[in-house]
């Protein structure tokens, strides 16, 4: 392999190298175009799936009776799944959860650990 190149002079070798580079560039361009096309197709499919999921969730929530919506699991279900994806200017999808999603309540029956009687200086061995 390569014996055919022994007879070629420098100009012919340079011409052969340029032809190889041109062919490689065209192959790269076709491959990149194919990858970009596939990526765009998959992004469209994902967006379509998310839209369909959001529609189905809304249909599920609105088809429930009002009594079942008072259940705390149903309410948390609504809070978690009904917020819409936000598309940034660069095309990236970002989800924006509602501000109240991380809120919690403290029950009044819990003792306040700041009152005297619970401090370290109050601990004694019996």
Structural domain count of the chain = 1
Q: Structural domain of residue 71, as residue ranges? A: 10-122
Reported pTM: 0.44
User: How do residues 23-33 score in pLDDT, each as one tens digit?
Assistant: 999 999 999 99
Residue 67 lies in a domain: yes
Closest CA to 26 of 18, 37, 16, 38: 18
Q: Please state, rounded to an integer, the average pLDDT across all residues of the chain.
A: 72
Q: What is the pLDDT of residue 87?
A: 47
User: How do residues 6-24 score in pLDDT, each as one tens digit?
Assistant: 788 899 999 999 999 999 9
Residue 94 lies in a domain: yes
Residue 4 lies in a domain: no
DSSP structural state of residue 17:
H
User: How do residues 52-63 score in pLDDT, each as one tens digit?
Assistant: 998 888 887 777
Among 13-17, 46-50, 87-91, 121-125, where is mean pLDDT lowest? 87-91
**Is the backbone of residue 117 left (phi > 0), alpha (psi -120 to 50) or beta?**
left
């Amino acid at each position: 392999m390569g014996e055919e190149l022994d007879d070629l002079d420098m100009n012919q070798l340079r011409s052969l190298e340029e032809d190889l580079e041109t062919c490689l560039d065209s192959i790269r361009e076709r491959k990149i175009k194919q990858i970009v096309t596939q990526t765009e197709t998959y992004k469209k499919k994902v967006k379509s799936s998310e839209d369909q999921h959001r529609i189905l969730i809304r249909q599920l929530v609105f088809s429930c009776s009002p009594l079942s919506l008072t259940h705390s699991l149903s309410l948390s279900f609504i809070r978690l799944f009904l917020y819409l994806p936000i598309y940034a200017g660069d095309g990236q999808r970002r989800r924006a959860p509602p501000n109240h999603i991380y809120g919690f309540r403290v029950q009044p029956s819990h003792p306040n650990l700041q009152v005297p009687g619970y401090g370290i200086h109050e601990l004694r061995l019996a």
